[in-house]
Structure 1
Amino acid sequence: VSSEQMTNDADLAYFGVISIGTPPQSFTVIFDTGSSNLWIPSIYCSSAACANHNKFNPGLSSTFKNAGKSLSIQYGTGSMTGFEGFDTVVVGGIPVKNQIFGLSQSEAPFMAHMKADGILGLAYPRLAASQATPVFDNMMTQHLVNQDMFSGCVRNGTLILIMVTFGGVDPNHYYGQIAWIPLSSQMYWQITVDSVTVNGQIVACNGGCQAIVDTGTSNIVGPQADISSMASANVVNCNSINNMPAMVFHIHGQAFTLPSTYYGCRTGLQSSNSDLWILGDIFIRQYYSIFSRAQNMVGLALAR
């Protein structure tokens, strides 16, 4: 079991430090349960986004091998392109040998504003671009973790404390019982939400909907009609935030409450054209989250 301390980027993303190569070159990456590839900027990248980030130099690593394959990954806000290589990747003190990863040659403009250098995807292999084996899958097959799960929290009282633990759970970071939710699909960390209520009334997801638990997205994202309904039931009054009603997500027979704490006086709600909901950091920061590959379940417990 190994834990990695994370850094908070304006409540929008959470990232930690990894190293790649021999001798190690260090990078900050977003630990993203909504994607499956690991990639970092390379010295061959000329995009503006690479100018203000650390860049990997494969010529300085004695263990680097070129995979001979190109890579292109599309995210919700842009894309990266480059090529793939193999090297030793150290995550939270765990050395993962012969890990495939992407070396960017071009990056979308929005990535210039990211504090993190790259992204480490923690979703299932089915989601991986170019059929790359995700880092956690190699951790499992190389028997580097005690249990085939990882977990994390992004909140500690009024302080921000971000921690991801590979190979187990840390009981110091949650209260009470863990609610285990079976996955409805094994590509994203996808679950079934039964409904969303405000003041006991269903305001969204009537009859059930599909949602992914995604550490790489800051907001709660859903279909436009549902998000509009939630927003009208929960209009933000910046002068009386504490008096606003809570949103309750009903999942697998349990109620998960989001209190009326709106960061920077924002709802944290965002509409999309997809029927697939995204439970991003606004949701996750309330709960210690456990991602079990052994049971194909997500566990949620109140964050300490």
Structure 2
Amino acid sequence: MSAVTHTHSLIRTPLRLPATSPTDSHTDMSKLLLLLLWTWTSLALVRVPLKRMRSIRSQLRADGVLEEFLKDHRPEMFNRRYAQCFPLGTPSLRLGRSSEKIYNFMDAQYYGEISLGSPAQNFSVVFDTGSSDLWVPSTYCVSQACASHRRFKAFQSTSFHHDGRTFGIHYGSGHLLGVMARETLKIGSLTTLNQEFGESVYEPGSAFVNSKFDGVLGMAYPALTEILGNPVFDNMMVQNVVEEQIFSFFLSRYSGTPEGELLLGGKDEELYSRPINWLPVTAKGYWQIKMESVVVQGAMTLCPRGCQAIVDTGTSLIAGPTADIINLHQLIGATPTNIGEFLINCARMSSLPHVTFVLGGTEYTLTAERYVRKEMLGDREFCLSGFQAVDIVSPEGPMWILGDVFLTEFYSIFDRGQDRVGFAFAKHPT
């Protein structure tokens, strides 16, 4: 945890000093200094370095078992549980088995470190704006996936509180099952007391065996919680340990240093170019905003009458309605594979159109270099589309998901105090 830094910001508060006698001045000044010191240290900006690692999908591909894995795990089962955008049973919802609440971490790439307990036990987690729960593997987990990850040992912690309740998070291949607890959570020098979290005792399927992360820390609104506790950032706000009710993400384009950063309690002006474009949250579950349109350079306009978009750091791709994504893939010459991916001829990259997302009147343009993913299989490079088809029809209109393909290019700011999302152009090293 030493790589996580704690940044203080000067808080200027007008202070009026009462008239004092010389004998009182030393005492009063001491009190004032203590007050200023408390103000300085009680509110924090905490930087969490994010590591960019190979996703589960890429690891399975490199091991030559991706196709076999996907035969046993239907592709649509890796759609996240976006059913909770609106009440269950809504007839227009189409997500395969719409009654299931499903996460997708097959393509998650960015992870950071947290610790739980006293003394601290470290875990690598996905900081996920598309969910709200915190869970890590338990030492009592019996699944194969847990054996290859760090596991929480409750009996070693003096601050552990057993909750007594159980929980289940639905996945396409089964349920992640566990028990609930409360514990001291540390992220860098920031401490949150009595944080509700889940200890998983059973993790379904074999996907998590290949994951580089131990667990997940959800950063969406409380409406999405399945563990029935306060999300981490909500507890930070209640306990008044962050300077502002804001967190922000910078995701690097490349592996190396720095690979990315989560800033808790504010935003870093060194990592983006002004201005910030603020967009109000339209539904307090996901970080959901309105999108005016998606324009494919010189060819077509998708979402012409406006639609909704979920800003999601826990998924790698950009997802949209099937009809729109099919048209887009046809236009850029992407060909489907038998495992649900779309291949693009790497030699055609320079001739592919730009794709522009219009949000709050501002255009956010991705070139092919940004929306095409390059991967290696042995010594062979191949190119994959960064777009994925997922049908989600909400009362507010068609739904898109802006994942890391989008968020890598733009600094993202999540403001719980004013229920809004901000975007600015990220400053990437040249």
TM over 0.5: same fold?
A: yes
Map Cα deviations across residues 178-228 of structure 1 (whole Å, 9 max, x no partner). Answer: 111111111100011111111144442221111100000111112210111
CA distance in 2, matches of 1:9, 1:121: 19
Q: Is the Cα contact below 8 Å between 1:155 and 1:303 reproduced in 2?
A: no
Deviation at 1:81, TM superposition (A): 1.2
Report the counterpart of residue 3 of structure 1 in structure 2: 47
Amino acid at match of 1:139: M
Q: Is the Cα contact below 8 Å between 1:183 and 1:191 reproduced in 2?
A: yes
Map Cα deviations across residues 81-134 of structure 1 (whole Å, 9 max, x no partner). Answer: 101100100013211100000000111221112100000000000100132100
CA distance in 2, matches of 1:204, 1:156: 26
Report the counterpart of residue 419 of structure 2 in structure 1: 296
Q: Is the Cα contact below 8 Å between 2:125 and 2:213 reproduced in 1?
A: yes
Amino acid at match of 2:46: S
SS for the counterpart of 2:411 is strand
Alignment of 1:67 with 2:163, yes or no, is yes
CA distance in 2, matches of 1:25, 1:147: 27
SS for the counterpart of 1:129 is coil
The 1:20–1:70 alpha-carbon spacing in structure 2 relative to 1, beyond 3 Å, is same
Report the counterpart of residue 93 of structure 1 in structure 2: 189
Amino acid at match of 1:198: V
User: More deviation in 18-27 or 107-116?
Assistant: 107-116
Correspondence for 1:104 among 192, 197, 200: 200
Alignment of 1:221 with 2:344, yes or no, is no
| Fraction of identical pairs, as percent | 40
Report the counterpart of residue 137 of structure 1 in structure 2: 234
Q: Is the Cα contact below 8 Å between 2:53 and 2:255 reproduced in 1?
A: no
What is the TM-score normalised by the length of structure 1? 0.95
Correspondence for 1:263 among 373, 384, 388: 373
User: More deviation in 80-89 or 7-16?
Assistant: 7-16
Correspondence for 1:150 among 247, 250, 268: 247
Amino acid at match of 1:8: R
Amino acid at match of 1:121: G
What is the TM-score normalised by the length of structure 2? 0.68
Deviation at 1:73, TM superposition (A): 1.6
Report the counterpart of residue 179 of structure 2 in structure 1: 83
CA distance in 2, matches of 1:223, 1:52: 36
SS for the counterpart of 1:263 is strand
Q: Is the Cα contact below 8 Å between 1:156 and 1:303 reproduced in 2?
A: no
CA distance in 2, matches of 1:158, 1:38: 26
Deviation at 1:79, TM superposition (A): 4.2
Alignment of 1:46 with 2:142, yes or no, is yes
Structure with the higher strand share, 1 or 2: 1
Q: Is the Cα contact below 8 Å between 2:253 and 2:408 reproduced in 1?
A: no
Q: How do 1:86-235 and structure 2 match up within 5 A?
A: 86-109=182-205, 110-155=207-252, 161-235=259-333
SS for the counterpart of 1:80 is strand
Amino acid at match of 2:225: A
Amino acid at match of 1:6: L
The 1:152–1:75 alpha-carbon spacing in structure 2 relative to 1, beyond 3 Å, is farther
Deviation at 1:32, TM superposition (A): 0.2
The 1:131–1:203 alpha-carbon spacing in structure 2 relative to 1, beyond 3 Å, is same
Deviation at 1:28, TM superposition (A): 0.3
Q: Is the Cα contact below 8 Å between 2:131 and 2:225 reproduced in 1?
A: yes
Structure with the higher helix share, 1 or 2: 2
CA distance in 1, matches of 2:332, 2:277: 26
Deviation at 1:78, TM superposition (A): 6.0
SS for the counterpart of 1:228 is helix
Q: Which runs of 5+ in 1 are unaligned?
A: none
The 1:55–1:2 alpha-carbon spacing in structure 2 relative to 1, beyond 3 Å, is same
Deviation at 1:49, TM superposition (A): 1.0
CA distance in 1, matches of 2:227, 2:114: 22
SS for the counterpart of 1:54 is coil
The 1:180–1:200 alpha-carbon spacing in structure 2 relative to 1, beyond 3 Å, is farther
CA distance in 1, matches of 2:124, 2:173: 19
Alignment of 1:57 with 2:165, yes or no, is no
Structure showing greater radius of gyration is: 2
User: More deviation in 273-282 or 133-142?
Assistant: 273-282
Q: Give the CA RMSD over aligned residues.
A: 1.7
